[in-house]
Structure 1
Amino acid sequence: MPHRADIRIRDPFVLAEETDRYYYLYGTTDGNVWSGPATGFDVYRSRDLEHWEGPYPAFRPKAGFWADRHFWAPEVYRYEGRYYMFASFKSEEKRRGTQVLAADGPLGPFEPLAGEPVTPRDWECLDGTLHIERDGTPWIVFCHEWLQVKDGRMAAMPLTRDLREAAGEPVVLFRASEAPWTVAGQDGTVYVTDGPYLHRLSSGELLMLWSSMSRHGYAIGIARSESGTALGPWTHDPEPLLPEDGGHGMLFRAFGGELMLAMHAPNGQPDERAVFCRIEEGDGTLKALRSR
């Protein structure tokens, strides 16, 4: 049974499944993260967030699947009785996009709901996350990638209730350079948007965790929706929640009731590991208490 420190993983996502009291850990698990043919996604499960059973093959592409590389950042949600995976894929012929897959259980196997991503065909997109509005409408929040637009954008789009396709046009929520804590890379014009995850505070305020580069490295910042919906408008906290060498965060509730942040750190390969950090909510914001 591997220990957390033994598992190389980027973009970790934890599903705390109440039905069997297991934590399920998904993420970018291919060894060749950036190039070459992709294998799929693995999943691990644990009772204590330290010792993990697996890996189990959550997704393996069947013959004819449109993508062959960059299988990134799977997120899994229990929604209307089934389990849905939002994940990014790419091929030489088609732009990167977020596709929705489904399974009857958290171990999979996950199968695509449709033959193509739900994100716009002509956009380079990644890191789609599911957000359910208070009226029950499902939305995807995702990144319009800096590789195409330089100043990375965060966007949102409504989905059909069955999550099979878009139910409206994409709306740009903000650009990475609008946050006061982000810094430009490469030639001074490139700003990264990565890893959105939406969380509603007990006060009702809607926050978004997202990642970019800070002056200390890969980081997680907080944006706030003035309307309390995915459409915002969004404002940015002046300083990141976690400022250095780790990111692509999400929040989950441990079985003991604690609010936990999952992220990967450090950011450099091949040393990426899942890091779990206890989060305290207070004074209208989130505070990281300790790492595990």
Structure 2
Amino acid sequence: MIKRENIYIRDPFVVPAYEEKKYYLFGTTDINCWNNEKATGFDYYITSDLENFEGPFVAFRPDKSFIWDKNFWAPEIHEYNGKFYMFATFIADGRNRGTQILVSEKITGPYIPWSIEPVTPNDWMCLDGTLFIDEAGQPWIVFCHEWVQIYDGEICAARLSKDLRSTISEPITLFRASDAKWTRSIKIINNHECYVTDGPFVYRSSNGELYMIWSSFIENNVYAVGVAYSKSGNIVGPWVNKEIPIFSNDGGHGMIFKTFEGKLTLAIHAPNKRGKERPLFLQIDESTLDCENLS
């Protein structure tokens, strides 16, 4: 067994398997995920109590035909129409960073490429795609248009085909990083302030409200998690950001799940320091996400 505090992982994503009473923990597991070295793949861990884990186990290893070879980031696992789909970020020399979708018959993998190509625009630098199914059953990808290309990072959305193999609409911008009062510029490039968007995750509350958590930076380049609220209750918004982050202690790239006891839980990595990232699970309630007082 491995203790939670001894697991290196960024961008943790928890999948509860209710019949097994086990949680599957995925995330960025390459210790060399930032540099120009060849990427390894994605691993996962298994736990019944979110403190003691088995693993790591292999979820994905690329074969020679896989076009991506660096920066394997932020895998998310979504069960959809009886299969398990991995949304993950990749890059390669001569290609922009993007999200591709992989598939497996089992939660444990092995995952193999599924989407025809990246489901984010080829001419954009993108990352952190997540799956959202609207009330009509239409799948969407929600993702970040990256600050490294446009300075002020954006959260965008596009419709996916029902088989999740391609997009079927042009992306729309939901909001920009600087729209949130709590974000701060991390640097100035070409006289532009640079604001980060990371890790969007969409959550429908028990009363039908639609929220999104996402990550950026506050003062002194401290990583934080904010929350936005869709005034229409639909993915297209308009979206309004809560004035202060819900977590501001140098951790982020969060997702939300319910424990087997029904407790709403925020999963993040913390601290946001290279090589020191660990999974952290924080109990929250829906009032934590409440943005109704925003105009």
TM-score under structure 2 length normalisation? 0.95
| 1:13 maps onto 2:13 in alignment | yes
Listed as ranges, the gaps of 5+ residues in structure 1 are 287-292
SS in structure 2 at match of 1:282: helix
Which residue of the other structure, out of 235, 239, 256, is the alignment partner of 1:251? 256
Which residue of the other structure, out of 200, 209, 212, is the alignment partner of 2:204? 200
Deviations 1:103-143 (A, max 9, x none): 01111000010342111110000000101101110000000
- 2 CA distance for matches of 1:108 and 1:92? 27
Q: Specify the code of the residue in structure 2 equivalent to 1:8.
A: Y
Deviations 1:175-202 (A, max 9, x none): 1001000001111600000000001122
SS in structure 2 at match of 1:148: helix
What is the percentage of aligned positions where both structures have the same residue? 51
Residues 168 and 181 (structure 1), Cα distance of their counterparts in 2 relative to 1, 3 Å cut = same
Give the structure 1 partner of residue 181 of structure 2.
180
Q: Specify the code of the residue in structure 2 equivalent to 1:30.
A: D
Q: Specify the code of the residue in structure 2 equivalent to 1:32.
A: N
Give the structure 2 partner of residue 220 of structure 1.
225
Give the structure 2 partner of residue 56 of structure 1.
57
Residues 247 and 283 (structure 1), Cα distance of their counterparts in 2 relative to 1, 3 Å cut = closer
- 2 CA distance for matches of 1:176 and 1:198? 16
Give the structure 2 partner of residue 30 of structure 1.
30
Equivalent residues of 2:215, 2:225 under 8 A apart: yes
Give the structure 2 partner of residue 123 of structure 1.
124
TM-score under structure 1 length normalisation? 0.96
Q: Specify the code of the residue in structure 2 equivalent to 1:218.
A: Y
Listed as ranges, the gaps of 5+ residues in structure 2 are none
Give the structure 2 partner of residue 210 of structure 1.
214
Q: Specify the code of the residue in structure 1 equivalent to 2:229.
A: R
Give the structure 2 partner of residue 285 of structure 1.
290
Equivalent residues of 1:154, 1:175 under 8 A apart: yes
Task: Tell me how far 1:203 sits from its aligned partner.
Answer: 1.9
Aligned residues: 286
SS in structure 2 at match of 1:260: strand
- 1 CA distance for matches of 2:115 and 2:197? 26
- 2 CA distance for matches of 1:46 and 1:202? 26
List aligned pairs for 1:52-131, cutoff 5 A.
Answer: 52-131=53-132
List aligned pairs for 1:123-202, cutoff 5 A.
Answer: 123-187=124-188, 189-202=193-206
Q: Specify the code of the residue in structure 2 equivalent to 1:258.
A: K
Residues 278 and 5 (structure 1), Cα distance of their counterparts in 2 relative to 1, 3 Å cut = same
Give the structure 2 partner of residue 289 of structure 1.
none
Task: Tell me how far 1:284 sits from its aligned partner.
Answer: 6.4
Deviations 1:228-250 (A, max 9, x none): 11111111110001112000010
Where does structure 1 differ by over 6 angstroms across 4 or more consecutive aligned residues? Answer: none
Q: Specify the code of the residue in structure 1 equivalent to 2:193.
A: T
Moved more, 275-284 or 261-270: 275-284
Task: Tell me how far 1:55 sits from its aligned partner.
Answer: 0.8
